[in-house]
Amino acid sequence: MNCNANEISVSVKDNGIGISDLQQKELFKPFKQLDPDTNREYEGTGLGLVLVKKFVEIHDGRVCVKSVPGKGSTFTFAIPTRQR
């Protein structure tokens, strides 16, 4: 994500399992699990990223993800700054 001088951006990077392009399309859908099996390895409700996106959008910001399966992911959000 490219930011300009009027934005603040924060990135979080991991070296986990990564997320395929197909799975990335499902990331920000409420209650959507990327691994729907009942015996899945990773827990969660499927709301964390949905809430992050909503909070960032409330502040006129944007969220993006870059990921490579097997190599990890980088999540970035950018929020515009306001001059007083």
Q: What is the pLDDT of residues 1-26, one digit of tens each?
A: 665 778 899 999 999 888 888 888 88
* DSSP for 2-24, written as a single string: ---TTEEEEEEEE-SS---HHHH
Band the pLDDT of 84: cuts 50, 70, 90: very low
Contact (Cβ atoms closer than 8 angstroms) between residue 19 and residue 67: yes
Q: What is the pLDDT of residues 35-78, one digit of tens each?
A: 555 455 555 556 788 899 999 999 999 999 999 999 999 999 99
* Cα–Cα separations (whole angstroms), residue 65 to 22, 39, 83: 13, 26, 28
Q: Count other Cβ atoms within 10 Å, centred on residue 79.
A: 19
When comparing pLDDT for 33 and 62, which is higher? 62
> Where do the domains of the chain lie, and which CATH numbers do they carry?
7-80 (3.30.565.10)
